Chain A
Amino acid sequence: MTTTYEPNKVLSNKEFKVVGTRPVRPDGADKVTGRAQYGADLQLTGLLYGKTLRSPHAHANIKSIDFKKALALEGVKAVVSAKDFPETKDTANYGLGDSPMNYFRGNILADKKVLYKGQAIAAVAASSVHVAEAALSLIDVKYEVLDAVLTAPEGMAKDAPILHDDLFTKEFEKQTKVNSNIAEHFQHKMGDIDEGFAGADVIVERTFDTATVHQGYIEPHNVTALWNDDDRIHVWTSTQGAFTVRAAVSEALAVPVSKIKVTPMEIGGGFGGKINVYEDPAAALLSKKAGHKPVKMVMTRAEVFEGTGPTPGSHMTVKMGATNEGKIVAAQANLAMEAGAYPGSPVGAGAMCVFTAYDIANVTIDGYDVVVNKPKTAAYRAPGAPNAAFAAEQVIDEIAEKLNIDPLELRLQNAAKEGTRRADGPIHPRIGCVEVLEAMKEHHHYQSPLTPAKNGGKVGRGVGIGFWFNIGMQSACNISVNNDGTVNLVEGSTDIGGSRASIAMHAAEVLGISYEDVKPQVADTDSVGYTAITGGSRTTFATGWAAYEAANDVKAQLIDRAATIWGVDPDSVEMEEGVLRSKTDTELNMSFKDLSAQLNDTGGPIVGRGAVDPSGIGGSFCGQIVDVEVDPETGKTDILRFTVVQDAGKAIHPSYVEGQMQGGSVQGIGWALNEEYYYSEDGRMNNPTFLDYRMPTSLDLPMIDTVIVEVANPGHPYGVRGVGEANIVSPQAAVANAIKSAVGARMEKMPMNPAAIMEQLWS
């Protein structure tokens, strides 16, 4: 059979009018003309500029801080430190679970002890950025420097320096009295692991280490805060969750949320890294101390690398066993991930995803959350899962090799389906694992011979598949009808990748009006109902659903209004494709446009509301096929061809779904090949610049082909599965498998940079 190759396929099985089309985003014109207002673009009258003093040490006790000289500098208006936090309760919760208040505040402004280089200690407000910077150098801090631990194994070692004297290991969900750097050790168990391995004909066990990496959004964190004379606080910031910022500022400063308004500015990338809150509370404190003047703080790139959440380095052992026929019968994982300075690594999520693509009877997964002297980790696109997949997907590759089975065939043979139980408990609902693997197998790329080398190196192909469970959480949306037959849609999810469009498309579809007739806007926390973070691949799923509900509410009210005007029973009226009509009397019909013009004279405006906290979340599977060329003399790897296949459930806006797949995959490529926090022995990051933290450039990549698979999620009105994250889970493993196929080096360390590949080839 010959097939002509078409890139960027959408395997659609259900068509809608607006959903599934590719309109231009509503904020587009602002974003191509430089008019869009990002946080750092904000100018306010009387604006002051803040800068943060950060620890030069990875681990030290703060003996004293002296602000005298800094305060004497002309132009300095205020300084703040942890001493400025008011007395409050012992735990903080800003929407993502409880954490001890001293840990939460410690990551905003350290008190008594610093736990990583770059940790904030104090902040200054001044008349200009240059004056604020000069003031920082005049703050005199005395430290007692302590030994640092930089990796999970170091942190778990018996004689390791202890970061927190109040951290006691939680073991199998029970609090112990052991003071250590292991915040938690948990285990998921299913079947009998020993019996499983006993029945295996082939067993592969390998240990993997991965480096700390950063989300790498191009826009540095920024905030402007005004603590007004009436004690109301207004925060303008770049965030993935305005309500999260509101709660965090409230918890840190012991100010009720009703006194805080957060305006989310346009956000220049986040990938999970702009969920945590950093300088916002300090900016508010500075504003208050400077006499209720607005204070703007914008991080430098080095501050972003050293002071904000990366995703963890990890140390992992994965062992899998299979029969000669290719049935995987046992799988065991030992995952230790760095939490950074405070507990909370994504090892839990890693454990949820490590073997989730497969139906395996006997599984044991141990997870360790380990504090180390690095920045507190933050979410980064499917946090924890890429580390785990780097290990598991290489072990599976090796099993396929040993059994001489095609690697996709082996995966298909063992693929999870509806009804398969995950080791961490849940049973898979309808999922698209098999469909994704089949689409990969049938793809032109997989059916084609290896891409020829460009520079005389060795070529190889690798595959991988990853899973992310996705989240639901709360979203709110209001829709008001304009008298020209359009609607205004107000929602609370900050738009990082075109979600205004996909959310508006939900409403247009329900109302039967064109996409252009829905005007979406992202509102501040005073203007819309509580909306959780833009994260967890939830925005199109949950906020889109809120828009769907709000539009249905509008629709019901329109039907009522038409019935009132016509003097008929509302049950006899329907609205389809933007037209209201009586089900019984064909004379009675009216377009939405005509009705909207009459609203004010027939009972007043119509406003619909949608507020959701959905269950029925659909997890997403995503796989990659990659051809690489490796220079056997230098270890340099080039990506020659790359295909990503993901189950989107239903792609509301296919271009933006493809964008997520391409962007996530390329972050995975960067992670695989070159990105890492390169530490000195005493815990300083040596490469906090875009020069030496090497993210892929346009010249490092080919086109990233995509296939959108649509296995509708029965839990969403249009079948949506979030697509923001699953795409970053397995590119690293796919690249590793391709390198193995090209030059025979099985890479147990990430990044797989040239030096690491040469080392492996030389060993």
Chain B
Amino acid sequence: MNSIDYIRPTTVDEAVSLLAKYKEKARVLAGGTDLIVQMRGGRYQLDAVIDGKHIEELNQLTYSKENGLVIGAAVPCHKIYGDENIASAYPGIMDSATLIGGIQIQGRASLGGNLMNAAPSADAIPALIAHNAVANIVGANGTRSVPVEDICSGPGRTTLDTGEILVSISVPAPSKGFGARYIRFIPRNEMDIAVAGAGVSVQLKNGKIEAARVALSSVAPTPLFVENAGNSLVGKEPSDENIQAAANLAKEAATPITDMRGTVEFRKHLCEVLTRRALHTAVERAREEN
């Protein structure tokens, strides 16, 4: 790794001005579980890392039934799944927070980091999309909030401008009849990158699906929001057939590549299997919520 500066701002403003100064030669450090490996591997030739873990807003973790959940961008996974209220209200996010890496990684890795790393295989992003999460971003020109599905623009690339920082992720409070699920397929039982993954949510009302969202990982240049798959379920009963039809749409939407983690054919097939399985679990969870 080349030589770098390490800076530890304590306010968002300070971080923003540092980002303005270093431009693309700096990145914000949260858990470091991706960034440090990438710097070592030469993907980034940085002049500075800006440690976000000493900024209050990046460390917040608040939840209420009224206002929903706010996850500071640097909050590590274990804090999220360690909170029982959050765990029960946001099952899909919980699934991904407990899946990312092993216990050691979960002690450091953050969902904000997972989002900013923008890997196609990111486990947190489909779950966040399923939960209708929004990214809160601050830059020199002020604050903006962007739906998570609009953040990633390519492998390792985001729609954030140079000089902008992700401060937190807001997730609306789930209402009655909501259920979500993230599952991924890996060849081992831990410590792998998803060959494919599916994050889904359903909102049930009077036995019918009022809203549904489906997002996939590892099968496109970015985590993929498959809007039509979720929409296909709206107004319908959560029957095997309807779920199968949505799963088929997810499979059609996937545009994976063949690499060491899987072939195009296998990955597309997994999209169908995982979406179907995830939807079934999400429906079960939604019913438990009733």
Contacts and interface: CB of A to CB of B under 8 A. Distances in A.
A686 interface: yes
B188 A754 contact: no
B198 to A, nearest CB: 12
Given A634-B273, A755-B266, A758-B266, A692 B191 contact: no
A673 B192 contact: no
A754 B190 contact: no
Contacts of A741: none
Contact of B266 (A694, A697, A754): A754
B178 interface: no
A674 B2 contact: no
Candidate in B185, B191, B266, B270 with the most chain A CB atoms within 10 angstroms: B266
B208 interface: no
B261 interface: yes
Given A134-B2, A634-B270, A758-B269, A697 B189 contact: yes
Interface string A696-707: 110110000000
B84 interface: no
A699 B192 contact: no
A519 interface: no
A636 interface: yes
Given A686-B260, A758-B266, A691 B190 contact: no
Interface string B1-16: 1110000000000000
Interface string B226-269: 00000000000000000000000000000000011111001001
A678 interface: yes
A130 interface: yes
B273 A633 contact: yes
B82 interface: no
B185 A634 contact: yes
A687 interface: yes
Given A634-B270, A691-B193, A758-B269, A678 B260 contact: yes
Contacts of A686: 259-260
A434 B262 CA distance: 42
Nearest to B40: A300
Contacts, number: 52
Contacts of A755: 195, 262-263, 266
Interface in B173-229: 185, 187-193, 195
A209 B3 CA distance: 46
Contact of B188 (A130, A134, A694, A758): A694
A700 B189 contact: yes
Contact of A674 (B1, B3, B188): B188
A506 B275 CA distance: 60
Nearest to B273: A633
Nearest to A755: B266
Interface string A749-763: 000011100110000
Contact of B191 (A634, A678, A691): A691
Interface residues of B, number: 22
B261 A674 contact: no
Contacts of A687: 260
A556 B189 CA distance: 58
Contacts of A758: 266, 269
Interface residues of A, number: 24
A753 B193 contact: no
A686 B273 CA distance: 27
Interface string A604-639: 000000000000000000000000000001111010
Contacts of A754: 185, 187, 195, 262, 266
A691 B260 CA distance: 11
A148 B104 CA distance: 40
Contacts of B193: 691-692
A610 B259 CA distance: 55
Contacts of A634: 185, 270, 273
B187 A697 contact: no
B191 A697 contact: yes
Contacts of B102: 697
Contacts of B185: 634, 636, 754
Contact of B192 (A130, A638, A678, A694): A694
A753 B191 contact: no
B1, B185, B191, B260: most-surrounded residue (chain A CB, <10 A): B260
Contacts of B189: 638, 697, 699-700
B187 A692 contact: no
Nearest to B261: A692
Given A755-B266, A758-B269, A697 B188 contact: yes
B17 to A, nearest CB: 29
Which of A674, A754, A755 counts the most chain B CB atoms within 10 A? A755
A214 to B, nearest CB: 14
Interface in A433-455: none
Contacts of B270: 634
Interface in A675-697: 678, 686-687, 691-692, 694, 696-697
Contacts of B191: 691, 697
B36 to A, nearest CB: 14
A248 to B, nearest CB: 31
A674 B187 contact: yes
A696 B2 contact: no
Nearest to A693: B260
A696 B189 CA distance: 9
A692 B261 CA distance: 8
Max chain B Cβ within 10 angstroms of own Cβ: one of A134, A634, A687:
A634
B269 A694 contact: no
Contacts of B269: 758
A73 B195 CA distance: 43
A700 B195 CA distance: 17
B154 to A, nearest CB: 20
27 contacts: A130-B3, A134-B2, A633-B273, A634-B270, A636-B187, A638-B189, A673-B187, A674-B187, A686-B260, A687-B260, A691-B192, A692-B261, A694-B192, A696-B188, A697-B102, A697-B188, A697-B189, A697-B190, A697-B191, A699-B189, A700-B190, A754-B185, A754-B187, A754-B195, A754-B262, A754-B266, A758-B266
Interface of B: 1-3, 102, 185, 187-193, 195, 259-263, 266, 269-270, 273
Given A134-B2, A638-B189, 17 more contacts: A634-B185, A635-B266, A673-B187, A674-B188, A678-B260, A686-B260, A694-B187, A697-B188, A697-B190, A699-B188, A699-B190, A700-B188, A700-B189, A754-B187, A755-B195, A755-B266, A758-B266
Interface of A: 130, 134, 633-636, 638, 673-674, 678, 686-687, 691-692, 694, 696-697, 699-700, 753-755, 758-759
Would you list the 4 A-B pairs with minimal beta carbon distance, nearest first? Answer: A678-B260, A699-B189, A755-B266, A699-B190
